[in-house]
Amino acid sequence: MINPIRLVNDIFDDEKLFDPSLRAFTEDFLTRLAQPDNNPGGMYNTLITNVTTKYNAYYGRITNEATLKAIAEGTTITRNNARKAAEEKISQLQGLIKFVFGENSAVYQEFYPLGMNEYYQAREGDVGILFDRFVASATTHLSVGYPAEVAAITTLVNSFDTAYTARQAAMAQVDSVGTGKREDRKGLTLELTTAFLTIAIQNLGNPDKYDDYFDPRYLPLNQGPRVYNGMVNNMSVVNAVPAGVITKSKRILLKNTGPVDLIFCLSNQAGVINPVHQITIPGGEQQRLDGGLPVLEEYYLNIQNTNPTENGQWHVEVDD
């Protein structure tokens, strides 16, 4: 007997069912469903309407996301160019500031406390703070003797700030659409599952009817568990299973195939260990999770090795 929980799964929510295949499958399904012989008396008109609505919502959003990503890429280039121009000017001014104030002076340290590498190696979110610090010091110490230089670096930093803000806004739009896209794909796969189960109920005991409605060529029909293996270095965390593979009802086999204890953790973020959902498995042992997993927005399986010297090894199987 099959596991009854499979009957309430979103059977089309599969990471291997890529967008082009999902699109082709849905379009083929709607075409088949609209045939008079497959929709006697319009009994499936509601299914056609609902699936079409979810299809349009998802694939319309995909096109919108592609446009926003192109815009975001353009703002990234603009920001990078603005950062490079500001860094080049700050580097050029290093000789002047060293000559006027002396390399060992307190004023020089205001501009270059850690040398130019501090600017070159700064993270994206920190570089604007460093630029603003430089402009403030330039305004204080160079405005009288070198006003043109102060004006030049101020203009460059303002250009960077504008470009940085524009990129952040563009990326926020991409993230927002990406979140909506995941929700819209889920809406489509759930609607397809509803349609499949509705048609199945109408044709119980007659599996040959399946071919009248569905073309399996587009679907990644699973023949066994998905298997993942790997190593986790000492004092490290790895993401063993990416988002989309695990759902609340999946069955998971966790194996610690190395010599040291490992922490296996379900989380809604890659690489993040959530103490509420973690399991410690000693070396050479295993544990099975038979569905009924905690409710998460997305499911990542992260593995942590807290041993200070030895690496760990793991094996994971995810099944329906």
Write down the domain spans for the chain. 1-221, 226-319
pLDDT of residue 138: 94
Check pLDDT > 90 for residue 84. yes
Distance between CA atoms of residues 158 and 131, nearest Å = 9
State the residue for tokens 């979110």.
125
Contact by Cβ (8 Å): 13, 184: no
Q: Worst-scoring range by mean pLDDT, 96-100, 171-175, 282-286? A: 171-175
Among 121, 150, 156, CA closest to 137: 150
Give the confidence band of 27 by pLDDT, cuts at 50, 70, 90. Answer: confident
Residue 282: helix, strand or coil by DSSP? coil
Check pLDDT > 60 for residue 6. no
Distance between CA atoms of residues 189 and 62, nearest Å = 15
| Averaged confidence pLDDT in the chain | 85
CATH number for the domain whose boundaries are 226-319:
2.60.120.10
Take residue 60 and report the two structure tokens written for it.
């319309």
* Cβ neighbour number for residue 169 with a 10 Å cutoff: 12
Strand partners, 231: 313
Among 21, 74, 29, 80, CA closest to 50: 29
Q: How much is the average pLDDT of 277-297?
A: 87
Contact by Cβ (8 Å): 264, 301: yes
Contact by Cβ (8 Å): 34, 275: no
pTM of the model as a whole: 0.42
Amino acid at site 165? T
